[in-house]
């Protein structure tokens, strides 16, 4: 198989582009580096294309290796024909290769192999090759009675022949494909309430799977989240899952596909064999395949949603130049407070007990007021976990009663406890207890969401659905790709970044990231990108991959605070000279450079300075906005100074909200009350919406209408429809 050509056809791009990308991968280039700095080489392929090439290359390489193994095994058995070889070589899926290999795969002891050992294979062949036999079949059977081999009667001989034929049918790749297609097109997946084994199980999640106690859906129409829910219920023992289908139809399809004759004098025998082969040998494995394929598709879909939500969460705009008070609310253990300055440095922390059982409300207000005034707090970040809304009410009252010039916002605290107990947190705050580190993380998530959230296992960030049920290896790879993409998209200030953040920079690993920190602590700030070579472990290739993504603000060369790669510095200098400017003018003269290029012609200027047009366009973007943070263009979080109770809501009320999570069936929106409201997929637009992600993203600020309120169940229904 010509892998580059195959991938090119799949992705509808040129084979030359695929070959170029593969060569760059082999040279150690990363996806972010290729996407940004090798556009001329790849024809401008973006990260999605590059990761697709990477994934397909890995799969097809594994497929090719498996084909070689299978061909070698069959050839060693002396059974490899040209036709079989061509079928295996033409296979595009691992499942197709395994189906073709099945008849030749070494088998454990089975009823069929036992029957062959008794010398009954010729009898099986006779039945298959003589559909019009007119003699006495009993005479044929009598020839195979052999007590020495363990065949004591004609009935045993016939049963052995049936077992052999049943396995022959089961080993047929064509038959298995027919059954597979039939079940995918015609079967229903059915779930029912399983028999409860003990009282503990009865009390646990008793209503969670109620929807699936009498559930039935065509296999080819089941939704991904339904598959994941059914799988979880099945695994936990709350649901029994089966496939329902027309038995007669599938058996007829098998007969028609396997036998070369329309009917036979042995039809009664053959029909029994087909039924046995299907129920005992074919169906159990194909049923697993169907369930596995549904699970793989559901996993992929859930992971894609998680990845999309994670990307938006990581790219939430930072709120700069604020003294922030982080609050991790709680009841018995109290609410933890932490103040950070405009750089994220921890200033001080306390614990207050305003909620039950202590109920020290007035004391807590005095402590809060003192901390806010003494530190000049501008913004209060409240974690959205236990006691969040009670704490919000407390903060809102405090602001109102004391006419404070500060605001608050609710922040997802998902993963804060994971961070607080991590090695990263221990290194950052060795003198603080784990419980006090979480609220620092909450505050820093407002100051710079990306820099803080990269310290946490992406699975724990809380913007997915069934993330603990899907393929964990694939999930980890996908989420790491997202984090890597976001970090390199934004860029990293090498003089302030943590080791956790630096690890995700193109070309860097944990060792080099830690060495950057050590060198920074030893000799002070980096003042130019050439100093990266002083970092232990930083070779030419690592420098090439990381240099453009590491920024130096206030350094010797203004270009070091842009995403212009050092390899393009000469071209940039030439461009500025053409405009009679120097690098010192880029902050105020960037638009003049763009005007010059447009006037003279992009192609002509690109040729004159020795770069391609894509690189020239990137240089222009950076000269116009050096040090630009792309997150600044995204909507800022909603800052509040007053609280709204659920009891205050009324049907028809119009509110501004923040999208917290997007799932298959809609989105959860924070409208400033205790419970996030559900914006069902049917209420997103005045048209059919196939995927909520097409219209909504985590962090979006939207105007919603309240269309349903259920206070006892703490449910709020919202609508975006006009």
DSSP codes joined into one string, 106-132: ---S-HHHHHHHTT-HHHHHHHHH-TT
The Cα 485–Cα 507 span in angstroms is 13
Sign of the Cα pseudo-torsion (601, 607, 609, 614, in order): positive
699 and 602 share a domain?
Answer: no
264 and 115 share a domain?
Answer: yes
pLDDT at 89 over 60: yes
* DSSP single-letter state for residue 277: I
Residues for the chain: how many in total? 722
pLDDT tens for each residue of 523-564? 999 999 999 999 999 999 999 999 999 999 999 999 999 999
132 and 166 share a domain?
Answer: yes
Instruction: Classify residue 530: in a domain, yes or no.
Output: no
Interval 28-56 mean pLDDT: 97
Contact 569, 624 (CB under 8 A): no
> 404-427 in b/e burial notation, b at 16+ Cβ within 10 A?
bebbbbbbbbbbbbbbbebebbee
pLDDT at 219 over 80: yes
Query: Sorting pLDDT into bands at 50, 70 and 90, what band is 501?
Result: very high
According to the model, what pLDDT value does residue 183 have? Answer: 97
133 and 238 share a domain?
Answer: yes
According to the model, what pLDDT value does residue 37 have? Answer: 98
Instruction: Classify residue 633: in a domain, yes or no.
Output: no
**Side-chain-facing half-sphere of 101: CA atoms under 13 Å:** 22
pLDDT at 203 over 60: no
Contact 615, 562 (CB under 8 A): no
According to the model, what pLDDT value does residue 590 have? Answer: 74
According to the model, what pLDDT value does residue 197 have? Answer: 66
Contact 706, 653 (CB under 8 A): yes
Q: Percentage of the chain with pLDDT > 90? A: 80
The CATH number linked to 128 is: 1.10.3500.10
pLDDT tens for each residue of 325-344? 999 999 999 999 999 999 99
Last residue of a domain, one of 518, 538, 565: 518
Closest CA to 241 of 196, 207, 287, 190: 190
Closest CA to 123 of 79, 154, 98, 93: 154
Which of helix, strand or coil describes residue 684?
Answer: coil
Instruction: Classify residue 49: in a domain, yes or no.
Output: yes
Q: At what angle do helices 47-76 and 94-101 cross, to 10 degrees?
A: 10
Query: Sorting pLDDT into bands at 50, 70 and 90, what band is 637?
Result: confident
Domain containing 369 equals 324-518
Three-state SS sequence of 411-457? ECCCCHHHHHCCHHHHHHCCCCCHHHHHHHHHHHHHHCHHHHHCCCC
Q: Read off φ and ψ for residue 272, nearest 5 degrees.
A: -65, -40
Number of domains in the chain: 5
Instruction: Classify residue 444: in a domain, yes or no.
Output: yes
Interval 405-412 mean pLDDT: 91
The CATH number linked to 667 is: 2.40.50.140
pLDDT tens for each residue of 431-460? 999 988 999 999 999 999 999 999 998 888
592 and 653 share a domain?
Answer: no
Last residue of a domain, one of 235, 270, 301: 301
- Find the angle CA(374)-CA(379)-CA(382) to the nearest 5 degrees: 110
Q: Read off φ and ψ for residue 71, nearest 5 degrees.
A: -60, -40
Instruction: Classify residue 631: in a domain, yes or no.
Output: no
* Residue bearing the bigger pLDDT, 670 or 168: 168
Using CB atoms within 10 Å of the CB of residue 641, give its burial: 0 to 12 exposed, 13 to 18 middle, 19+ buried. Answer: middle
Asked if omega into 357 is within 30° of 0 (cis), the reply is yes
442 and 371 share a domain?
Answer: yes
Pairing of strands 239-244, 188-193: antiparallel
149 and 214 share a domain?
Answer: yes
The Cα 88–Cα 699 span in angstroms is 49
pLDDT at 421 over 80: yes
222 and 360 share a domain?
Answer: no
128 and 246 share a domain?
Answer: yes
Interval 688-704 mean pLDDT: 92
Query: Sorting pLDDT into bands at 50, 70 and 90, what band is 57?
Result: very high
Query: Sorting pLDDT into bands at 50, 70 and 90, what band is 199?
Result: low
């Amino acid at each position: 198989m010509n892998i580059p050509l195959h991938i090119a056809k799949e992705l509808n791009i040129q084979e030359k582009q695929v070959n170029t990308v593969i060569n760059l991968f082999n040279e150690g280039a990363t996806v972010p580096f290729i996407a940004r700095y090798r556009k001329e080489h790849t024809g401008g392929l973006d990260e999605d294309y590059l990761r697709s090439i990477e994934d397909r290359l890995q799969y097809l390489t594994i497929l090719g290796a498996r084909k070689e193994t299978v061909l070698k095994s069959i050839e060693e058995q002396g059974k490899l024909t040209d036709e079989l070889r061509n079928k295996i070589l033409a296979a595009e899926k691992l499942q197709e290769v395994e189906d073709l290999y099945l008849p030749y795969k070494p088998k454990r002891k089975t009823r069929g192999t036992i029957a062959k050992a008794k010398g009954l294979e010729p009898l099986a062949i006779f039945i298959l090759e003589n559909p019009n036999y007119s003699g006495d079949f009993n005479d044929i059977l009598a020839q195979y009675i052999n007590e020495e081999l363990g065949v004591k009667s004609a009935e045993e001989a016939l049963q052995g022949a049936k077992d052999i034929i049943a396995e022959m049918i089961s080993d047929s790749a064509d038959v298995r494909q027919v059954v597979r297609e039939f079940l995918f097109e015609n079967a229903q997946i059915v779930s029912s309430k399983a028999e409860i084994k003990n009282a503990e199980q009865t009390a646990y999640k008793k209503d969670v799977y109620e929807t699936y106690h009498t559930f039935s859906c065509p296999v080819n129409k089941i939704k991904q989240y339904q598959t994941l829910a059914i799988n979880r219920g099945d695994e936990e023992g709350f649901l029994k899952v089966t496939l329902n289908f027309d038995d007669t139809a599938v058996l007829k399809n098998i007969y028609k596909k396997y036998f070369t004759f329309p009917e036979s004098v042995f039809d009664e025998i053959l029909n029994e064999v087909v039924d046995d082969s299907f129920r005992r040998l074919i169906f159990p494995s194909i049923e697993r395949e169907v369930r596995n394929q549904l699970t793989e598709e559901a996993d992929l879909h859930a992971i894609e949603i998680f990845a999309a939500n994670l990307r938006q969460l990581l790219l939430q705009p930072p709120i700069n130049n604020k003294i922030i008070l982080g609050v991790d609310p709680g009841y018995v253990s109290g609410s933890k407070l932490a103040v950070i300055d405009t750089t994220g440095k921890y200033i001080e922390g306390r614990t207050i007990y305003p909620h039950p059982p202590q109920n020290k409300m007035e004391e807590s207000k005095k402590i809060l007021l003192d901390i806010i005034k003494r530190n000049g707090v501008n913004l209060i970040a409240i974690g959205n976990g236990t006691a969040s809304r009670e704490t919000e009410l407390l903060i809102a009252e405090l602001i109102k009663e004391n006419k404070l010039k500060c605001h608050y916002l609710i922040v997802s605290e998902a993963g804060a406890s994971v961070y607080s107990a991590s090695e990263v947190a221990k290194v950052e705050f060795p003198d603080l207890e784990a419980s006090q580190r979480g609220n620092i993380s909450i505050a820093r998530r407002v100051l710079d969401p990306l820099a803080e959230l990269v310290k946490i296992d992406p699975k724990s960030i809380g913007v997915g659905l069934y993330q603990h049920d899907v393929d964990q290896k694939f999930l980890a790879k996908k989420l790491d790709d997202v984090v890597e993409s976001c970090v390199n998209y934004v860029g990293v200030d090498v003089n302030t970044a943590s080791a956790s953040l630096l690890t995700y920079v193109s070309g860097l690993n944990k060792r080099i990231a830690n060495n950057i920190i050590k060198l920074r602590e030893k000799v002070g700030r980096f003042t130019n990108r050439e100093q990266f070579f002083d970092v232990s472990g930083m070779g030419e290739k690592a420098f090439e991959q990381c240099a453009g993504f590491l920024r130096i603000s206030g350094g010797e060369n203004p270009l070091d605070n842009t995403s212009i790669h050092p390899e393009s510095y000469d071209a940039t200098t030439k461009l500025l000279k053409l405009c009679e400017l120097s690098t010192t003018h880029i902050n105020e003269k960037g638009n003049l450079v763009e005007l010059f290029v447009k006037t003279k012609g992009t192609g002509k200027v690109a040729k004159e300075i020795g770069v391609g047009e894509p690189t020239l366009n990137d240089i222009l973007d950076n000269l116009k906005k050096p040090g630009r943070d792309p997150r600044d263009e995204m909507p800022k979080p909603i800052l509040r100074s007053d609280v709204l109770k659920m009891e205050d809501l009324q049907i028809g009320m119009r509110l501004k909200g923040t999208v917290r999570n997007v799932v298959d069936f809609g989105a959860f929106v924070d409208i400033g009350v205790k419970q996030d409201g559900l914006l069902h997929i049917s209420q997103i637009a005045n048209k059919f919406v196939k995927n909520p992600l097409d219209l909504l993203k985590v962090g979006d600020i939207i105007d919603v209408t309240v269309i349903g309120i259920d206070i006892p169940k703490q449910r709020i229904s919202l609508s975006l429809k006009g």
